[in-house]
Chains A and B, each alone.
Chain A
Amino acid sequence: MNRLLPIILAVVTLVLIVLAWIQSGGVERREMQSANAPDQAVRLMFSQIKSHNYDAAYARLANRGDVDRNAFIREFEGSYGSLLTYSSLESFDVSPLHTGDQESSVRVRLHYSTAVGPLDDIRDLKVEKNGDSWKVFWPVNNATKLPPQVIAVNYLRWDVIGRGAGDDWGVQNADTPQVRILSMNAIQRPDSVVLVGEVVNEDSVPAFVNVGATLLDASDNEIAQESSFDKIAHKLLPKQVSPYRIDFPGMRKEKIKNVRMEAKALLVAASADPVIEVTQQKLETDPLGKKVLTGQLTDESGQVVDIPHVIAAYYDANGKVIWVSDGYLAQPLLPQVAVPFAVDLPPDVAKEVHSYHVVVNHFERVSS
């Protein structure tokens, strides 16, 4: 009996170790290490990236001489407080596009879990045969970087001094900004009712804006209440217009008799900098067959934009807002370097789109 217990414990421990190894993809890795197909080489590399084994992943590259190791790591770990610095690679799908004897191409779809929700990234990679094994040809980032310099920025900045706690009752405070909802359009989608429209800051000071909506039934009873959450550019400079979208999942338009809209605004400190230019905007079909609005963002100032957020309003031939879509960019915007973006829209809506307007919202990491 004295000998039996240690033996049982040893066996159980061994079984648990084997189970853990299988669970962590050990079998898959083992298979892939010995695999000699292009898609398996890509799978192995991303499996190693997923487990943060960047040295092993970097060793899988065919063009290591052209790719800086740190730059390669930054493609997945992020930089400058970008969205990727608040995310992790959750999973990936690999599908072969073209298979040859010496050279193949493979599409990999990366699924990140980020601070603002799931983020997908699609990469088409070239894979080369090197001896008995396949190696991944990583695209070299040739984006020009602005040389070290001083960029003078003298855009306006607004600071707010509110009424103090010690002030007498009736002492004037700075009023909240005047904002106005320019338009609202209720759309029935297969799984929800969506309210889209635009809001403008009519004041001469910046405003932090949020749009809320309450749905009322035929008896004027409230049936649902939602806000635009992140489907709006919250910080609006004077006379700036932002699209907004409010989703009511599971709602049917027939149930709604009336909608009560509310635009709330707060007076906030803000800077007119950075100015972000949106160029080469086009409605296209992406490699997965989805309708997307593509373009490039260029930060015209000298400040790095950590997390850019693109919000696009789409109009029909009558100028009515028919859809609003948004998307976060994984990369930061470096000064005066164009970064591509793409936001998708439903195919049935894309057919009706006559024009569109893109607004860029941005978030910066505040250093303490």
Chain B
Amino acid sequence: MRTVLTAIMLAAVLGASASEIHSPAQVAAGNAITIQTSGSGDATFYLIGPAVASKTKVQAGSNIPVDSDQLEHAGRYVAVLCASDGCTATNFSVNPAAANRLSFLVHPSRIPVGSAQGISAVAIVRDSYQNLVPKPEAVTFSVMAKNEKQVSAARTSENAVAWVRLTSAKKEGPTKLGASIGHADEIRVVQQVAADACNLRIKASRAKRGFLIETDPVHDCSGNPVPDGTVVSFSGSDNGGKTTVDVPIKRGVAKVEMPIDGPAKITVASGVVTGNELEVAGGQ
């Protein structure tokens, strides 16, 4: 029984291999190839790849052209020829083409000044057809700060990824980060913003409704102006009770007019930073 079964399977295999198909073992993505076949008569050609599945009527024994646009995605492909005497198949690999594109991820898009190793720039190396290029490639990273000379450094990619970590500058403002390879040159912008307010100080002067309480120009510890819109909280306690008001910085300073009844203590804070305390005396 076992002998009979083996004989039947062998006959089927021999019958199936009557027509033959030959493809190149390796091919670069985006290149056209020709697949050679043997045999005769009408046949059907199937091409199955990572992002393609096609069926074509061909003549067995002829050369079958495969267009470049069918071979844009890197990976394993299977070519199958089915003729009247059975089907035969061959495998081949489509490898990524030369590195020519980058996906450039920069995080964060805003960062306080002087944040050590706070900026992460990651370049993902791809070919022209968006295939990852796993072989080591040199990626050039550059930093273009405003009014400063460009600084560049090369990093070799590992498994299609190259990265650098950077410390933000001491001066606020936008800085451009670039990454380039082949024809790709990607730019991202990181906004370096002032850190927390430093040495927050208020002064008071008499006004129509009470006292005008005003901060000195608000800066961080590196001397960068804290951006407009940042909230400064004023609090005052007098005979009438407590007064609080959250005021956004406008043109570098925050100010508010507070009604003061009798002796009062006025304090200031911005986020977790507190400033000086003032003691004033208003009319009863």
Interface of A is mostly: loop
Q: Are B107 and A175 in contact (CB under 8 A)?
A: yes
Given A156-B228, A175-B108, A204-B230, are A239 and B244 neighbors across the interface (CB < 8 Å)?
no
Q: Are A239 and B104 in contact (CB under 8 A)?
A: no
Q: Are B103 and A281 in contact (CB under 8 A)?
A: no
Q: Beta-carbon contacts of B169-202 to A below 8 Å, as 1s and 0s? A: 0000000000000000010110101101100000
The smallest beta-carbon distance between B71 and chain A, in angstroms, is 22
Q: Are A241 and B233 in contact (CB under 8 A)?
A: yes
A356 to B230, CA, bound (A): 22
The smallest beta-carbon distance between B68 and chain A, in angstroms, is 22
Central interface residue in B110, B197, B231, B247, by most chain A CB within 10 Å: B231
Q: Are A238 and B231 in contact (CB under 8 A)?
A: yes
Given A278-B243, A281-B241, are A169 and B103 neighbors across the interface (CB < 8 Å)?
yes
The smallest beta-carbon distance between B240 and chain A, in angstroms, is 5
Closest B residue to A359 by beta carbon equals B246
The smallest beta-carbon distance between B134 and chain A, in angstroms, is 18
Q: Are B243 and A279 in contact (CB under 8 A)?
A: yes
A272 to B107, CA, bound (A): 27
Closest A residue to B230 by beta carbon equals A238
Q: Chain B, interface size: which category?
A: 35 or more
A200 to B273, CA, bound (A): 11
Given A156-B228, A239-B270, are A275 and B243 neighbors across the interface (CB < 8 Å)?
no
Given A155-B248, A204-B230, A359-B246, are A279 and B259 neighbors across the interface (CB < 8 Å)?
yes
A205 to B109, CA, bound (A): 12
Residues of chain B whose beta carbon lies under 8 Å from any beta carbon of chain A:
102-110, 124, 186, 188-189, 191, 193-194, 196-197, 227-233, 235, 240-248, 250, 256, 258-259, 270-272
For the complex with contacts A156-B250, A172-B109, A277-B258, 4 further pairs of A-B residues with Cβ separation under 8 Å are A155-B229, A275-B246, A279-B258, A280-B243
Query: 7 closest pairs, A vs B, by CB?
Result: A170-B103, A239-B271, A272-B248, A156-B229, A281-B242, A240-B231, A282-B241
Residues of chain A whose beta carbon lies under 8 Å from any beta carbon of chain B:
154-156, 158, 168-170, 172-175, 182, 200-206, 237-241, 272, 275-282, 295, 300, 356-359
Listed A/B pairs (15) with beta-carbon separation below 8 Å: A156-B228, A156-B250, A168-B103, A169-B103, A170-B186, A172-B109, A175-B108, A200-B271, A204-B110, A237-B246, A237-B248, A238-B231, A275-B245, A275-B246, A280-B240
